[in-house]
Structure 1
């Protein structure tokens, strides 16, 4: 798996960076290299540090895996959106049915993450909090963990907007143990396909 190769290399690069006498240019090159692992061509245009954090601005070219038409549409949409205020759907905007589907999806990821072992709520609760889930969502996930969840039932007629918001959180849950098993991979792929299906229909 790519993560098994990249993670040790990144750790080594960070250690070298900490001991570098040319921290700024080295970090600029390193960040571009990290994004390159994902097929993203990027250039650091601004780099600064404050409050214990590093702030970076990037110029990003079309990723290798991105279709030319999709990329041009993204650029066009961004240009059209300049100066306009848009409301982006969040979990708070979900209907009760959408919230329930989301809770059950996340519960499913937790259940299949360690087959044969019931997830410990005391262990997963703090990690779920870091995903930005409010207490209502967390309580729903906890309740959904009490019964086995079925992926086919969860993915069937799933709203693309729900899938789009669920996907990054599902990835975070799947990566809690730094590896992705077959069931987790299938769930993530199914979420991605739900998003793609909606885009193709538009």
Structure 2
């Protein structure tokens, strides 16, 4: 038996934070964000205000430029329903994945991983016209946090040594070290 849910249309709208399109969907995004935080992360309603949302995810690091650089919200729609938002920043050499939130009723779809794959596809598209934009930055990786651990499944992945600021390939050895002890100096040299 085929149900109506089998005929849903998926679409992504990428809107710059300062744009009229973003302002038109701000309330809708905030409601999704509030729902996500209260259901998935057990936040209190009072911690999910529009002001907090605006300060956390709606600032543009390049506010006075006509260039492509800046903060964008990639809005994921199923038919006309907003089901997820990926917040990204286009920077001179990378696409930075800032945050991702989704409808708790779609938790079973692994939208965070799906979003990361779509962001990688978006990076590849950007790279065709801007070859200098070639890296994908997944942001903070906290190995002991189960909700962030999916980031380590993308390969190649590199972690920055917190002491010497050198990049290190995330392999099974580093994973084991991080499992044994949360804080690790990844660069083992004595310099």
TM-score (ref. length: structure 1): 0.26
TM-score (ref. length: structure 2): 0.27
Which is higher, the Rg of structure 1 or of structure 2?
Answer: 1
User: Greater helix percent: which structure?
Assistant: 1
User: Greater strand percent: which structure?
Assistant: 2
